[in-house]
Structure 1
Amino acid sequence: MSREIRRSMPLLSMNIVMQLTELSARQIRYYEEHQLVEPHRTEGNRRMFSLNDVDILLEVKDYLEQGMKMAKIKQLFAKKNAATSKKAQDLSDSELRRVMREEMRQAQRLKKSSIRQGDLSRFY
């Protein structure tokens, strides 16, 4: 399993994230309202956070402690997200095939079907 996949898995409850970031539940919900983080929701509607979400919350906290306003923080994250999505779109066909082959191999090793494999099955 790749490092990025592990970091994006929603594993941490609100209480754990509050302890890790020293933010209140209200602060975390506020940042969610401003779409700075998007935690996964369980069937019971509980928020589950990934390590990437915790990193974002800590980054927001640092910016606020430096005196930066929320509007400026949102602009920074919007630029960062736009750059990331542009980078993902710039994958060549050969790179995309390589990534998909690796995901299929990992799924076979774990004896699970890949999410992408289900998406691609309609084309075969």
Structure 2
Amino acid sequence: MDYKDRKAMPLFPISIVSELTELSARQIRYYEEKNLVTPLRSDGNRRLFSFYDVDRLIEIKRLIDEGVNLAGIKQVLKLRENQVQEGESKERNQDSKYKEDLSEKELHRLLRRELLESGYLNKPSINQGDLSRFYH
């Protein structure tokens, strides 16, 4: 398993998720049946939930406590997923734009200017005597 995002790793059995979310195992299975959460299955066909799944179940519980029905919950979760995907797409586009637009020399010049403007480069350096209390 190669998970770049550790929060997506399927780690928790349903018993632990039940304790973390204060939902019964039956409720969790029901939300899975309604496609509100999709845990992965182990080789032995046991449900394994990620941190994201736990967060999603807590959000579902909160929405139900506020009186939102399952159709409304599906819509809220779908909207949030779209917002997250749009945000990730914008970040990727900005990162690639910065990588394409700035040469290494320009980047160094920009960073130096920002350091000068912040006053960081003009501060007196700390000498070893000032740090002596941290060394034995």
TM superposition score category, shorter chain reference:
0.5 to 0.7
Which AA in structure 2 matches 1:84?
A: V
Map residues 11-90 of structure 1 onto 2, 5 A cutoff: 11-90=11-90
Query: What secondary structure, in the 3-state scheme, does the structure 2 residue paired with 1:82 have?
Result: helix
How many residue pairs end up in the alignment?
A: 93
State yes or no: 1:94 paired with 2:106.
Answer: no
CA distance in 2, matches of 1:31, 1:15: 15
> Which runs of 4 or more aligned residues in structure 1 lie more than 6 Å from their structure 2 counterparts after TM superposition?
none
**Bigger RCO of structures 1 and 2 (CA < 8 A, at least 6 apart):** 1
TM superposition score normalised by structure 1: 0.66
Deviation at 1:37, TM superposition (A): 1.2
| Rg comparison, structure with higher value | 2
Gap runs ≥5 in structure 2: 100-136
Note the alpha carbon deviations across 1:87-123, whole angstroms, 9 max, x for none: 333422727x9xxxxxxxxxxxxxxxxxxxxxxxxxx
TM superposition score normalised by structure 2: 0.61
CA distance in 1, matches of 2:96, 2:67: 45
Q: CA RMSD in A?
A: 2.0
Which AA in structure 2 matches 1:94?
A: S
Identity of aligned residues (%): 46
